[in-house]
Chain A
Amino acid sequence: AQSVSQHNHHVILSEAASLELGCNYSYGGTVNLFWYVQYPGQHLQLLLKYFSGDPLVKGIKGFEAEFIKSKFSFNLRKPSVQWSDTAEYFCAAGAISNFGNEKLTFGTGTRLTIIP
């Protein structure tokens, strides 16, 4: 069965610290990978996505992620976090099909708290 694991449940950092959130997936075939962010009280927004090509993908707000196929990982990074990055972050994976990855599997989320 497909699954997505996020091992960091809660991460606390000071402003300007570097961030790396882990994401590992287990899928039988080729997948698309996503990172979503949920700010307090808001809906999920797409940060970035990977579907093919350059394994280092850049998203909004200075975030990037690296797809490492041999490690089944898609870790999210940001060199210098800000207080406004306080949010919950979800990794998601969807198997590629002829119809699109309408069936997404999400990780359990990582709560990020940035201390001013």
Chain B
Amino acid sequence: EAQVTQNPRYLITVTGKKLTVTCSQNMNHEYMSWYRQDPGLGLRQIYYSMNVEVTDKGDVPEGYKVSRKEKRNFPLILESPSPNQTSLYFCASSNPSFSPAGVYNEQFFGPGTRLTVL
């Protein structure tokens, strides 16, 4: 089954304790992204990756790191989590598709990781 998986699904941690949320896709997609979802703010992109070893900042990258050493995996790293990073996190992947107007992506989302930082 084609899917994006995230682990863990739920995590409660304390301020300053480094953590990693894993994301893996089995669709051979080139693009992967991380979003956070907060009430009243919708989804905001944290980081994205266009291919292995190619990453770039989204709209809210502060306090996060990513790496893309393999095509299928795109972990999100919080080196020193703080309470304002309490949120619901989604990983997404896609491949570029081509239309007369240009290139577009249809992103497939993972199930989400609910993170609480105390």
Contact = CB atoms under 8 A, between A and B. Distances in A.
Interface in B4-38: 31, 33, 35
Interface of B: 31, 33, 35, 40-45, 48, 50, 58-59, 90, 92, 94, 96-97, 99-112
Contact of B104 (A6, A45, A100): A100
Given A46-B108, A53-B100, A103-B45, 18 more contacts: A36-B109, A43-B112, A44-B109, A51-B101, A90-B42, A100-B103, A100-B104, A101-B103, A101-B104, A102-B31, A102-B33, A102-B50, A102-B94, A104-B107, A105-B45, A106-B43, A107-B42, A108-B42
Interface residues of A, number: 32
B65 to A, nearest CB: 18
Interface of A: 6, 9, 30, 32, 34, 36, 42-46, 49, 51-53, 90, 92, 94, 96-109
Chain A residues touching B, majority SS: loop
A98 B111 CA distance: 29
